Amino acid sequence: MNVTVRYFAAVREALGSGEDVEVDSRADIASLRDALAARGGRHAEALGRQRVLRSARNRVLCAEGTALADGDEVGFFPPLTGG
């Protein structure tokens, strides 16, 4: 299945605004993140487990254990600093 990944703030600066990614039908946010980081290079640097990131599924903040469905939009970004 396919998901649209979107990046923000420091992650966006490293990887661009986003990309479409094909994932396993049982994928969750954690496995998507690990698969992207496994590409190495900038992806490993920006999305690896040494980074503290938050994530969203379909524009709602959620834990990385959240399962994905075909067509989902997944956001990866640093901790939030608004207000």
Partner 1 sequence: MSASRVSIRADDFDLGAEVAALRAGDGGVGAVCAFVGTVRERNDGAVVDSLELEHYPGMTEAAIESMINEAVRRFGVRAARVVHRIGPLAPTAQIVLVAVTAAHRGEAFQACEFLMDYLKTQAPFWKKEVGPGGARWVDARVTDDTALARWGIAAANAGAAAAAALDQRAAATSDTPAAAAPGLHAGAAPDTLAGALPGKR
Find the binding residues for partner 1 in span 19-78 (CB under 8 A). 52, 54, 56, 59-65, 75, 77-78
CB 54, min distance to partner 1, A = 7
Distance of closest approach, residue 46 Cβ to partner 1, in angstroms: 12
In this complex, which beta carbon is closest to partner 1, that of residue 3 or of residue 22? 3
Distance CA 50, CA 72 (A): 25
Q: Could you count the other beta carbons within 10 Å of the beta carbon of residue 24?
A: 11
40: left (phi over 0), alpha (psi -120 to 50) or beta: left
Contacts with partner 1, residue ranges (CB under 8 A) = 6, 8-10, 12, 52, 54, 56, 59-65, 75, 77-83
